[in-house]
Structure 1
């Protein structure tokens, strides 16, 4: 029996099972590695602008604290439930271990449509959620970050609420804050930059000229938009993008700067162009060099995987590819180079780690140093993944997850079981 359920959690369990079998982990060790250490469910009542009271359900799951505090984003979305949050926390554990960060994975969220809230209501919900979490989080226990539906401003409210209860400013309780409130230069761009950087590495490995390359990006939020900006900056043509309002396609290439400006003004791609509208599902299978799913989980199933016409699959989102799709992609390894999510989108948590370190030290770095350190870590993890996949003759996802799971298992084994 478990309190966790749903397709996203089942996907995380299935993925772990594959890795556990690959590593020949004894069955009596598996539950300790997989099951979250702690989960919290809270009610978050707020005053609505019309004078009524609304109650939203919030969650936080801390997967393990073996290597250090847990680390993970906080998501405000209608898809949020305990199973999804637990799965994302588990994936974050493997991600942090893969890139060598002293963290366990965590995730949090509130079941709410943030676009239905006014700014005042959003602030009230943000502060109430953090208030309810104060007994369970801390700079050396669990450090929050932004995710889908949250942003720098929400993190500033989180930090301020926690600080008021501590009687002092505690900037290191969250990452992804505004620079003016203790954030780091380069954090906002970090995930998208990392996705583009790794995609660029693979383009180089495949001897694909950047100026001849094309990319399709599903999801045009923080990750997708900065990925598009970075890819375009070194010559890649962005031929299709999408968000929750629809998709746009132009074989000649889209104007990324104009798209970013439109979304900044209007909040979405809606209304940008009627002539360029395209099927949001069909865009995933457009011929391209780089496909970046940067939206939500489980968008590439076995059917879609069989129809992909990309040469590089750079997973900007968490869990965009189902286990059934992985089986298809393993048969297409010669045609499609997969950069799995736990590596591909890890730039965000890497730079979040830098922000945490800078806040603890009260010594801040220039953006060039942040980027240099981020890319150095991504390069190291990428090289380890490719070497492991080649050595063991396994997929990149299996290799990346095996490295992460091995590190967590080794730490748990050496620390032992208390009491």
Structure 2
């Protein structure tokens, strides 16, 4: 295969066209998803600690709101582009439709290296973003949430700034907030737990014995940690973990809690085993992220950024199953090769939908003023994700589709029902009685 990447947004549109047409989705529905509803680009002036002013570019895309107010995270990353934000917002549109949430899709981002900012500079940037977006977002219009390099504290700052501008208490404007500011219990673990539920459901259908399954996880952020932790708890052998700097491998597997503890302390992925506060190095091999993707494992979990598996490296993938915890980690052209090899791919619009699902739960709690217990959140996430996986699996079996094809078909049909309810060419042309 030729090396190279397609544009991430064009790649996303390609899949919508291809899967929509093969599933018999009405052309008007597909057409409605080939362009965003609106995109706002802004320049954010931030006073730095040395007294100077730096300008950062911010984006917010509201892609499609036919099912409800738009919903999607905000990422702080040096590689954010308008094309990436539109692709992420499109995927969020499909994700919300797939799991049955009354939301459309959105996404936001700021072009910044957040690790280079002081805590006070980060707060000023977060508040500047909301000032620029204050007329664009709202609890019944567009509800942001955390994403790459943003977190609960940043969401708290953003909510506070929005409330100061509007002069009204409005906890539902942002999800993923600190619990004491109206956040939901279980939100921090939600994306990883949702992926874990999908893997557990897949294991039932494939007849897996957890202690026989070797797992490699690319990425070690919040979502990756929680899915790895839950899998290890069930007996899966997590043999490789990586972050942006590289990874580690051990055939014996790792103690995930110890790795996470060391990551929080040293900001490095290091192979250690910790007994309370005492940690010791364990035997391991250092590997690159590319080497991790090519490991001979049963389950590969790309949980970093989009486009990491592409036409230039897909033929090195040896895992029999991929679960996309990151958004768009497998490019469309690369997935054709995976399908030909019989490699199962659980798509991002299903596998990482736990985060937006619990964000929806948080939004509901904010609107009713009635907080849920952690047990309630987990039970409802189990139900929502389990039903979504079952629906996708059933369709993949009855219509001989890949799991992505089935997931997109479910989402597109739901969006299609909403579009049809407003009237399509058949109705207005007099062909629909």
The answer for unaligned runs of 5 or more in structure 2 is 1-5, 273-280, 425-433
Contact residue 245 and residue 270 of structure 1 kept, 8 A: no
Aligned-partner Cα distance in 1 for 2:90–2:306: 14
- Computed over aligned residues only, the root mean square deviation of the Cα atoms, in angstroms, reads 1.8
Aligned-partner Cα distance in 2 for 1:271–1:383: 37
Q: Find the residue that maps to 1:42 and give its secondary structure.
A: strand
Aligned-partner Cα distance in 2 for 1:151–1:196: 21
- Give the equivalent residue in structure 1 for 2:61: 61
Aligned-partner Cα distance in 2 for 1:382–1:167: 42
What TM-score do you get using the length of structure 2 for normalisation? 0.91
- Give the equivalent residue in structure 1 for 2:410: 403
- Give the equivalent residue in structure 2 for 1:258: 258
Contact residue 29 and residue 415 of structure 2 kept, 8 A: no
Q: Find the residue that maps to 2:135 and give its secondary structure.
A: helix
Contact residue 201 and residue 389 of structure 2 kept, 8 A: no
For residues 308-352 of structure 1, give each alpha carbon's deviation from its aligned partner in whole angstroms, at most 9, with x where no partner exists.
Answer: 22232111000011111111122133xx32211100000000000
Contact residue 76 and residue 109 of structure 1 kept, 8 A: yes
- Give the equivalent residue in structure 2 for 1:240: 240
Contact residue 286 and residue 309 of structure 1 kept, 8 A: yes
Q: Given the alignment, which residue of 372, 375, 390 partners 2:379?
A: 372
Q: Find the residue that maps to 1:397 and give its secondary structure.
A: helix
Q: Aligned-pair distance for 1:143?
A: 0.3
Aligned-partner Cα distance in 2 for 1:25–1:375: 29
Question: Size of the alignment, in residue pairs?
Answer: 411
Does 2:191 match 1:191?
yes
Q: Aligned-pair distance for 1:194?
A: 1.1
For residues 200-239 of structure 1, give each alpha carbon's deviation from its aligned partner in whole angstroms, at most 9, with x where no partner exists.
Answer: 2222222221122221000000111111111111111110
Does 2:104 match 1:99?
no
Contact residue 70 and residue 142 of structure 1 kept, 8 A: yes
Aligned-partner Cα distance in 2 for 1:25–1:201: 27
Aligned-partner Cα distance in 1 for 2:422–2:228: 43
Contact residue 199 and residue 312 of structure 1 kept, 8 A: no
Q: Aligned-pair distance for 1:29?
A: 5.0
- Give the equivalent residue in structure 1 for 2:136: 136
Does 2:372 match 1:350?
no
Aligned-partner Cα distance in 1 for 2:133–2:46: 15
Q: Find the residue that maps to 2:40 and give its secondary structure.
A: strand
- Give the equivalent residue in structure 2 for 1:315: 324
Contact residue 389 and residue 399 of structure 1 kept, 8 A: yes
Aligned-partner Cα distance in 2 for 1:319–1:14: 13
Does 2:292 match 1:287?
no
Q: Aligned-pair distance for 1:270?
A: 6.5
Q: Aligned-pair distance for 1:20?
A: 2.5
